[in-house]
Amino acid sequence: MHDIEFFTYTSERSWGLRVDGTDLRVLAADAVRPCWRREDSHDERTPEDTEDFLFHQYAGMTERHLGDPVRHFLGAALPEARDRRTGATAVLGCPCGIWECWPLLTRITADGGTVAWSGFRQPHRPAWGDLAIGPFVFPWAAYGNALAHPVHLAEDPLTELPPPAPRTGA
């Protein structure tokens, strides 16, 4: 079983989350790094610029896009915040403010005792397939409590970047 923490930040009350203490945007950056490397045209980006891009390619979903955050994160998102084909739910959006521009989707399933997140995808890159994130299974009671009582932060917790990941392969 995994631990989850929901948090809000900014004046628009963006919703972010941590799984086992790690911001989902960090997990997403680690998962898509090799995908971007395969696509990289070796342009002028420095390694530092690349890392900055990876860690800031996603943002939390604002309450304006979530509707009811509890329903959203239990897999009953508004139709416009779900993939019509797969039913997957957007859990992160684009930092431009239009979440559909670059969402991170996952399937959220809840049963009597657990909530599971699986099949993380970037819908604008179907060739990437399921990303190497999760699956995560959370105890229902702890998930519900974390969702009902998000931590309120004054600013985005990713203002400071984590250290760069070690380079593997060329």
How far is Cα 170 from Cα 105, in angstroms, rounded to an integer? 28
Q: Reply yes or no on whether the pLDDT at 10 is more than 50.
A: yes
- What pTM does this model have? 0.88
Going from N- to C-terminal start, the domains of the chain cover 4-156
Please give the mean pLDDT across all residues of the chain: 87
**Structure confidence at residue 156 (pLDDT):** 87
- What's the rounded mean pLDDT across residues 73-83? 87
